[in-house]
A and B are shown apart, each in its own frame.
Chain A
Amino acid sequence: MAENTRKLLVCCDTGCLANNARAVADALEAALAAAGLDVAVERGSAELKRTGCIGQCSHGPIVKVHPDDICYYRVKPKHAEKIVASLGGEPYQPLLYRDFDGEPKLREADNPFYAHQKKIALRHVGLIDPLSLDDYLEAGGYEALKKALTMEPQDIINEIKASGLRGRGGAGFLTGNKWQAAASYPAQPKYVVCNGDEGDPGAFMDRSLLEGDPHSVIEGLIIAALAVGAEQGYLYIRDEYELALPVVATALKQAEAAGYLGSSIQGSGRKLHLEIVRGGGAFVCGESSALMASIEGRVGEPRSKYIRSVERGLWDKPTVLNNVETLANVPFILSYGSGEFAKIGTAGSKGTKVFSLVGKVKRSGLVEVPMGITLRSLIFDIGGGIADRRSFKAIQTGGPSGGCLPESLLDLEVDFESLTDHHTMVGSGGMIVMDDRSCMVEVAHYYVDFLCGESCGKCTPCREGLRHMREILENICKGQGKASDLEELEDLAFALQEASLCGLGKTAANPVLSTLRYFPEEYEAHIKERRCPAGVCKPLTLMQIDQEACTSCRACLKACPLGSVKETPAASPDQKATYHIDPALCTACGSCREACRFEAVVAVRREATCA
């Protein structure tokens, strides 16, 4: 970077785009152009880059100034001129991050959201322009590939094995062992596949990587191909990822033009052709055999696992399937050595993991942390604790295959084993924080309902078992649960785990088992008292106004879409108007409770259903 070259990085990832980031980037461009005329000399040339996700989406759009390392949050187009005017001088104070101590934080590293993070997979995301190969090369891109070209395939595999890298797509299989197995079969051709299906309904790190640093993933996939001897590969990406698809397509073209792909990679005589396959949006297609069926043009249904895909995968040939994040780690390991990677993490889980820390935390977004970090540190140090002065109830990890962990497990160190030991899993890395207004039975129902819709229906335990579970949970949420339901749920869970064909069914009971285990009192309140303690299950709940706490601010009245909050005007000027909620109109949507800042709206048991 030339000495006085300044860069403005505007996050233009999905989260920030939803916050109008494109208009911010345009306004900055305009402001720079306007200012460029008179003051260009003093400030040096400021180059505006559009980048991927910087992570703290809750505070977007985010604009970073390099090399000053200043971070502006919640930027609006109207701030563009102020930012441009501040370049090289005093930072523009109103947009700096302020933590709970109220002190403005200048740099990204000062923001506690980032201070506890360690970025390997996301190392370039938010720093480089994903559409620029030059940016990637400047950041050390494709050096790992050049190194790999000088190595024997077995040495590449050994390096990955030594790093201890395990798959980030869910199962946590050792990547080096997977490559070794595929390399050991003589059958040709062989295939490498990148799994960018990302079906977990609460995680978006793969998308962020594909959108923000596509070349890292491609480079990882090329290295995998060199290691196992594949000459053809696929990137399976969801069709809904409207931003990721063109970005990856462009990156593939660039890599091919620059000779990192094609008929002779960097003149080595080694070939690799990569193609994008667009997924159709079915959760089960993320499962390896279903994904391969889908690439072959068949309906995406899994097959039984007695033949492994490393031996007979795509078109019955040896195939390596790796997750996006797994592959993004690969170039780092080759460039910096397996030791650099293996020194981070726990005994069995090396390196870092990207989590999408969302839900009811103060600071949310994508975070990359060392394996072994405690849940407490994730939620409180990075996430800043529970939002809206509420209290922590549970953290859901692992998406639909995972479960909910209670407060007593907050000091659990997160890695593949520890979570599996507690009826959940790392999975793709969703971390959804729930407060006292989340109902655990309803959450279990949510996942079972999701999986019911996504079960491909090929095997009976999954198809029928899930449907039956859903029915039981639905009844409990409606206040029609029976004492025998809990036992029946456990029986069904056991059948699903034992008899399902693929991972979808085998893990589908986790959301139910973990909530049953850690929150039995909530199930009991629903069944025995016909009451939803969190005030979420509508048939069991009514909202009421606590007259003592009410300050007559009318927030609830404005928030109710149904007009069920009724006002009684003040009887005399020195009194306040009073409010009550008409039970006949209230649907217990909770909008009034969310709007109230004085805890004056409380959820009570709806008597009518308690016959």
Chain B
Amino acid sequence: MAAPENGAAQFNATGEAVAKGTLVLEMPEVPRERIEAIIQCYPPERRYALAVMQDMQHSFDYLPRTALELLAEYMSFPLAQLYSMATSYKALSLKPKGRHIIKVCDGTACHIKASLNIIDELDRLLGIRPGDVTPDGQFSLETVNCLGSCALAPVVLIDGTHYGKVTLEKLSGILESYKPGGECDG
């Protein structure tokens, strides 16, 4: 895998190298103190590496390169191994996410109720595929497995709000409220 040049985002959410010409988001810089504050909550033992990265993911929405470097140093642990964990666990991402995170459930119950159509329709409306962020940084799109609301399939989760029995007809209305100035775009 290509080495990132000067720490800029060359990787998408699943850690694959992003093709040339793909829009790459600005990586928001995270102050060193905030990173250190998280790291210091845990003893320097390897078994806490995942927990630290999860906390960073929750706080920063992605794992900045500096954060991984600091963690590697603190745990006396090769950066490459942290990188391998960061790319193998779905909950971790090396790329910042959009302002609103759209998660389309593609668990089995949702799948057989045509969740892929929802993904296609979101592609049509926003121009992004799962793993991508819109150029204005407003939305990122992900697929997830079973949200535990199968009885309401197909289910879409936007920033923690569940939408059940979603139809393509309803979808654009839901999205509108998350666009700049929309009622859910607080």
Residues of A that sit less than 8 Å from B by CB: 13-15, 17-19, 56-58, 60, 199-204, 207-208, 239-240, 242, 277-278, 280-283, 294-300, 356, 358-360, 364-365, 396, 399, 430, 432, 434, 438, 443, 446, 450, 456, 558-559, 561, 587, 589-591, 594
The smallest C-beta distance from B107 to any residue of chain A, in angstroms, reads 4
The 3 A-B residue pairs whose C-beta atoms are closest, nearest first, are: A280-B89, A18-B162, A202-B108
Query: Can you pick out 8 interface pairs between chain A and chain B where the beta carbons lie within 8 Å of each other?
Result: A18-B164, A280-B50, A280-B88, A358-B150, A359-B109, A446-B108, A559-B167, A594-B114
Known: A18-B152, A240-B144. A281 touches B109 (CB 8 A): no
Distance A508 CA – B12 CA, assembled complex (angstroms): 27
CA distance A242 to B155 in the complex (A): 17
* Complex: chain A residue closest to B58, CB-CB: A239
Asked whether B20 is an interface residue with its Cβ less than 8 Å from the other chain, the reply is: no
Task: Evaluate contact between A201 and B90: CB separation under 8 angstroms.
Answer: no
User: Which one, B2-10, B28-36, B40-48, B176-184, is touching chain A?
Assistant: B40-48
A559 touches B169 (CB 8 A): yes
| B24 CB within 8 Å of chain A | no
Contact partner of A282 among B90, B120, B171, CB < 8 A?
Answer: B90
CB-CB under 8 A from B23, the residues of chain A are: none
B84 touching A299, Cβ below 8 Å: yes
The answer to whether A591 and B50 have CB atoms under 8 Å apart is no
Question: Are B146 and A208 interface neighbours, CB within 8 A?
Answer: no
Distance in Å from the Cβ of B71 to the closest Cβ of chain A? 12
Interface flags for B98-120 (1: CB within 8 Å of A; 0: not) read: 00000000111101111001001
List of B residues within 8 angstroms of A278 by Cβ? 50-51, 54
- Starting from the known contacts A280-B54, A432-B108, A589-B114, 19 additional A-B residue pairs (CB-CB under 8 Å) come to A14-B149, A14-B162, A18-B149, A18-B163, A18-B164, A202-B108, A202-B146, A204-B148, A239-B91, A281-B90, A298-B46, A299-B84, A299-B85, A299-B88, A364-B151, A396-B108, A434-B112, A558-B169, A590-B117
Chain B residues with CB under 8 Å of A56's CB are 151
Question: Would you give the shortest CB distance from A359 to chain B, in whole angstroms?
Answer: 5
- Smallest CB separation, B81 vs chain A (Å): 7
List of B residues within 8 angstroms of A60 by Cβ: 151
| Complex Cα–Cα for A208 and B47 (A) | 27
Residues of B within 8 A of A443 (CB): 111-112
Q: Determine how close the nearest CB of chain A comes to the CB of B146; give it in whole angstroms.
A: 5
The residues of A that contact B46 with a CB separation of less than 8 Å are: 296-298
Interchain CB contact (< 8 A) of B147 among A14, A297, A432: A14
Partner of A359, one of B50, B112, B155, B167: B112
> What residues of chain A lie closer than 8 Å to B169, measured between beta carbons?
558-559, 561, 591
Partner of A297, one of B50, B91, B120: B50
In the complex the two chains form, what is the Cα distance from A18 to B145 in whole Å? Answer: 16
B72 within 8 A of A: no
Also in contact, A365 and B151, with CB within 8 A (given A558-B169, A591-B168): yes
The CA-CA distance from A19 to B155 in the complex, in Å, is: 11
Residue from A17, A296, A589 within 8 A of B162 (CB atoms): A17
Q: Is B69 an interface residue (CB 8 A)?
A: no
Question: Known contacts being A17-B162, A278-B51, is A300 close to B150, with CB within 8 Å?
Answer: no
- Nearest chain A residue, comparing its CB with the CB of B152: A18
- In the bound complex, how far is the Cα of B109 from the Cα of A201, in angstroms? 8
- Bound-state CA distance A234–B151 (Å) is 31
Q: How far is the CA of A299 from the CA of B172 in the complex (A)?
A: 40
Measured in the bound complex, the distance between the Cα atoms of B145 and A238 in whole Å is 12
Min distance, Cβ A368 to any Cβ of chain B, angstroms = 16
- Enumerate chain B residues within 8 angstroms of A57, measured Cβ to Cβ: 149-152
Kindly list chain A residues whose C-beta atoms are within 8 Å of the C-beta of B172: 561
| Contact of A587 (CB < 8 Å), options: B45, B81, B120 | B120
Question: Which of B45, B144, B145, B155 counts the most A-chain CB atoms under 10 A from its CB?
Answer: B145
Residues of A within 8 A of B51 (CB): 277-278
Which of chain A's residues has its CB closest to B107's CB? Answer: A201
Inter-chain contacts of B81 with A (CB < 8 A): 299
CB-CB under 8 A from B160, the residues of chain A are 242
**Using Cβ atoms and an 8 Å threshold, which residues of chain B touch A359?**
108-109, 112-113, 150, 153
Instruction: Return B50 CB to nearest CB of chain A, in Å.
Output: 6
